[in-house]
Chain A
Amino acid sequence: MSEVSVEATGETVGEAKWSALRELERLAPGVDRDAVRFQVVSEGERGLLGVGYTPARVVATATRPAVALPPEPTGPAIEGEPAVARALLERSLVALGIAGTVSVEEGDDEVVATVSGHDLGVLIGRHGQMIDALQYLANAIAHRAAGEDRRRIVVDAAGYRARRAATLDSLARRGAEQASATGRRVELEPMSSVERRIVHEALKDDPEVETESEGMEPHRYVVVFPRRTVD
């Protein structure tokens, strides 16, 4: 149980008590008036013709009623996805010694953070490993702060995602052509789950083939099968 106390002044001790009580009721609604303890700090001096006047001063203390307890703050302050993405990328640029800027575009279920600048190769990394790692970490931090109800963060740099999506799309189509021409399964190179999804999507309406993911992370890959004909 916590206690709350206020100090108040008035022309008389009685007035000081009243204003202390009002203040207490404002701070702790529902406080039990009868349980309030007063301590008179100063009786005050009436003075003469306004000279030498000092107000009466009291301290009132009460136990805060349980129902009126303010909610305890839970965990660290929730930062939104745009703030998380921006902070992570700006700090990454500093750590990598790259001059660049970060812009964030917010959608209903996606937040796209794009890095622009020269020499972004290190930020993208071989096969996009670095940019995918940053994207994964941005999502993990946002997830920790906001839980399930949050938007997906996409990290992009120098048009990387569009270029990579075009590459994956043509890789998928070539795999499909090969699978249906030979009647055999075609294994594509290992990809991240985001990239595998792009491949599955690219071929999901293809009447000739079906796709599945096989293997263990981080070497999981898409397999393209010729579609089995229904007898």
Chain B
Amino acid sequence: MKGLEELLTWIARGLVDEPDAVRVERIDEGDVVVLRLHVADGDVGKVIGRHGRVARALRTVARSAGARGDRRLQLEIAD
């Protein structure tokens, strides 16, 4: 799970203008673990992408990684 947070952080850093502002916050909500992706205000569009394609790909990565464990993983983009 820790590996997933690192992976998402690494991917997001590769997409934004301010990589130092990228942070993944982990929120435990029982059966569901929410990973909240924080980026600089000007970079939110970059992690959402055209037609939300980047966000969808990031969510797929989070979900697939969660499929291995017993808890559902959800990615949120903080704005």
Are A and B part of the same complex?
A: yes
Could you tell me which A residues sit within 8 Å of B by CB distance? 75-76, 84, 87-88, 91-92, 94-97, 122-123, 125, 129-130, 132-134, 136-137, 140-141, 144-145, 217-218
Interface pair B64/A130, CB less than 8 Å apart: yes
For A132, list chain B residues within 8 Å (CB): 57, 60
Contact of A137 with B58 in the complex, beta carbons under 8 Å: yes
Q: Which of B48-64 contact A (CB under 8 A)?
A: 49, 51, 53-54, 56-58, 60-61, 64
Quick one: given A125-B60, A137-B57, A137-B61, are A84 and B14 in contact (CB under 8 Å)?
Answer: yes
Cα A130 to Cα B50 with chains together (Å): 19
Chain B's nearest CB lies how many Å from the CB of A50? 56
- Is B78 an interface residue when CB atoms closer than 8 A count as contact? no
Q: How many A-B contacts if CB must be within 8 Å?
A: 71
Given A137-B11, A141-B15; A97-B3 close (CB under 8 Å): yes
Taking A130-B61, A144-B15 as contacts, is the C-beta distance between A91 and B10 under 8 angstroms?
yes
8 A Cβ contacts from B15-38 to A: 15, 17, 19
Cα distance, A122 to B65, chains bound together (Å) = 8
Instruction: Kindly report which residue of chain B lies nearest to residue A123, judged by CB atoms.
Output: B64
Is B4 close to A, CB under 8 A?
Answer: yes
A-B contact pairs, 21 of them (CB 8 A): A76-B19, A91-B3, A91-B7, A92-B7, A94-B3, A96-B3, A97-B68, A122-B68, A125-B64, A130-B64, A133-B57, A137-B11, A137-B54, A137-B58, A140-B54, A141-B14, A144-B15, A145-B14, A217-B51, A217-B53, A218-B56
